[in-house]
Amino acid sequence: MKVVLINPNICMQKGDLFGTGIPYMPISLAFVAASLRKQGHVPVVIDAFGEAPFKARMKEHLMVQGLSPEEIVARIPSDADVVCVYAAKVVADIVTKDIVAAARKAIKVPIVMIENTQSVVAYSLRLAGEAFLDLGADYVLIGEPEQRLQRLLACIAARRQPDFDGIMFKRNGKLFTVDKKEFILDLDSLPFPAWELFPLKNYWKLGYAHGPMQGNYLPLLTSRGCPFNCGFCIIPEMNHRRWRARSAKNVVDEMEHWIRTLGVREFHFEDLNPTVRKERIVEMCNEIIRRGLRVSWKLVAGTKIETFDKATADAMAAAGCIYVSISPESGSPHVMQLMQKPFDHAYGLEMIRHLHSRRITTQACFVLGYPGETDADLALTRSYMRKLVKAGCDEVSMFIMTPIPGSRQFGNVTGFSNLSQLTFSPCWRQDYKKLNRFRTRSYLEFYLLKLFYHPITLARQPFNVLLRDFRTKTEMTAFRTLRLWSIGRHAKR
């Protein structure tokens, strides 16, 4: 069957620099494309962002980059058998719905929604999928899509009603939902992502990415899921706290494959929690060194710092790791209990000092405004941030909690009018101004302290921006802001 895979546009909330407008490469969709091809189908990719990243328009409170819904539909081959739309990010919900509605008007073949299960900026289609069915989608896949899509294609070919787990559809106005139960355990059995079907050069031309970009890069997904149960996060719902990993050899095989075929030597790990098994990371480092691969790699999506130790960090540094993001979330033990996230603040400082000594750039991420947080808790967060700066942490990011469908806080925090407002700068929250002031002042204090404790490192940052040799996400954000301003000047209203 000829299966069209549509990656929606990238959207940026006006005035937001903290989580929207970031061009995540659609790695889960690339895995789907590769799996379809392995199963004998013909995947056709329409990357609404990647095919026109410098084209923009305004949609309500969003700047939308990429093709219009009409241009997307015009690219669908007339002989397509199935069209799949990727629900990549919650901020793009209204744009994704426009794509589904436009496709439904133009084509008669089945439309399938694919869930993004491996990103904290995605959302649960078990909770949000019915709206797509009402707009004309025929099926919503819930959970990892590779095997479920194959089963669905078999049902479509046989004109049989699907009965496997992880699917939602309507018949005669009645909603049928079979929640996910199965998870892919042998990730090594999956083919490498089919990046050759995507407009990679356009992503590289942007000059910015999710992780600090220093050249042509590719994302890696070396594991899936996370064993922790953070209350602000969608991942416990999406993965049932099941962490599964590819083998060290399989990961390094993929690195070597892209070095050989695309000449790429920079890799951004987009795992939710890649270091759960430190032995796997050490084995991967040893394999990189054994093969003599000259690579740089970065843990850009965050990891649980207590899951590895100094010896692991030493191996990572020797094998080319140059960036690690961690997530303390709060400096307050009280808030951590509310979130149901364990974190050893003292161990975090110890490891930041060690990573700094090994010349690995570090980021610490915090979540502000969790229900039950007090001014005293915020003061503890700022105090811990000060300790991190002194220890050598290179940058911090502060996100204001938003109730994404799939998180335990969905339904508890209200005030938004559509799902695309569920960003990490939720200006609809009654306490947004207060939290945003805290965030802004904390950033200012961070850099003043950095000037005091690490003046040489701070002095290098403007040159890194000018040379586009980004060592931190903050440096890259400065460049991204200028580029998006230039793109936005010509956005259609």
Task: Tell me the CATH number at 464.
Answer: 3.80.30.20
**Domain assignment present for 196:** no
Per the structure, the count of domains in the chain is 2
- Predicted confidence band of residue 487 (pLDDT cuts 50, 70, 90): confident
Q: Which amino acid is at 415?
A: G
Tell whether the model's pLDDT for residue 493 goes beyond 70: no
Asked whether residue 402 is domain-assigned, the answer is yes
pLDDT over 70, % of the chain: 100
Residue 106 lies in a domain: yes
Count, residues in the chain: 493
Choose one of 178, 193, 226: the last residue of a domain: 178
Cα separation of 44 and 419, whole Å?
28
Check: CB of residue 336 under 8 Å from CB of residue 329. yes
329-345 average pLDDT score = 96
pLDDT at 200: 98
**Is 262 contained in some domain?**
yes
Q: In this structure, what are the phi and psi dihedrals at residue 344, rounded to the nearest 5 degrees?
A: -95, 100
Q: Structural domain of residue 20, as residue ranges?
A: 2-178
Task: Give 395-407 pLDDT, tens digit per residue.
Answer: 999 999 999 999 9
Let me know whether 468 and 398 are in one domain: yes
Boundary of a domain, candidates 122, 155, 178: 178
Same domain, 274 and 134: no
| Residue 143 and residue 251 in one domain | no
Alpha carbon of 424 to those of 364, 391, 429: distances in Å?
Answer: 16, 27, 11
pTM: 0.96
The alpha-carbon radius of gyration of the chain (Å, integer) is: 22
pLDDT digits (tens, 9 = 90+) for 213-222: 999 999 999 9
Residue 109 has pLDDT above 70, yes or no: yes
362 and 252, same structural domain? yes
pLDDT of amino acid 376: 98
Q: What is the mean pLDDT of residues 373-385?
A: 98
CATH number of the domain residue 28 falls in? 3.40.50.2300
Expressed in angstroms, the distance from the first to the final Cα of the chain is: 39
The predicted structure's pLDDT at residue 458: 94
Residues 20, 161 within the same domain: yes
- Domain end among 178, 200, 235: 178
CB atoms within 10 A of CB 294: 8
pLDDT (tens digit per residue) in 458-468: 999 999 999 99
Under the banding of pLDDT at 50, 70 and 90, the label for residue 488 is: confident
Residues whose CB falls within 8 Å of the CB of residue 183, separated by 6 or more in sequence, listed in order? 143, 144, 224, 225, 239, 240, 242, 244
pLDDT attached to residue 343: 95
Q: Do 432 and 327 lie in a common domain?
A: yes
218 in a structural domain: yes
Do 118 and 259 sit in the same domain of this protein? no
Of the chain, the percentage scoring pLDDT greater than 90 comes to: 96
Instruction: For residue range 111-161, list pLDDT tens digits in order.
Output: 999 999 999 999 999 999 999 999 999 999 999 999 999 999 999 999 999
Q: Using one digit for the tens of pLDDT, what is the confidence trace for 260-284?
A: 999 999 999 999 999 999 999 999 9
pLDDT band per the 50, 70, 90 thresholds, residue 14: confident
Same domain flag for 473 and 400: yes
pLDDT of residue 161: 94
CB-based contact 207:483 (threshold 8 Å): yes
pLDDT interval class at 228 (50, 70, 90): very high
For residues 142 and 244, state if they share a domain. no
Taking the C-alpha atoms of residue 304 and residue 241, their distance in angstroms, rounded to an integer, is 14
CB-based contacts of 325-328 (< 8 A; 24+ apart in sequence): 325/299, 325/300, 325/301, 325/362, 325/363, 325/364, 325/365, 326/302, 326/351, 326/352, 326/362, 326/363, 326/364, 326/365, 327/302, 327/303, 327/364, 327/365, 327/366, 328/364, 328/365, 328/366, 328/384, 328/388
Q: Is residue 201 one of the residues assigned to a domain?
A: no
pLDDT, the chain, mean: 96
- Taken in order 462, 463, 466, 469, the sign of the CA dihedral is negative
Query: Same domain, yes or no, for 174 and 224?
Result: no
Shared domain for 213 and 163, answered yes or no, is: no
Same domain flag for 474 and 402: yes
- Residue 333 placed within a domain: yes
Show Cβ contacts of residue 43 under 8 Å, excluding neighbours closer than 6 positions.
Answer: 3, 4, 5, 32, 33, 36, 37, 194, 197
Kindly provide the b/e burial profile for residues 191-214, where b requires at least 16 CB atoms within 10 angstroms of the residue's own CB: eebbbebbbbebbeebebbbbbbb
Q: How does pLDDT run across 230-256, given as a tens digit for each residue?
A: 999 999 999 999 999 999 999 999 999
Residue 444 lies in a domain: yes
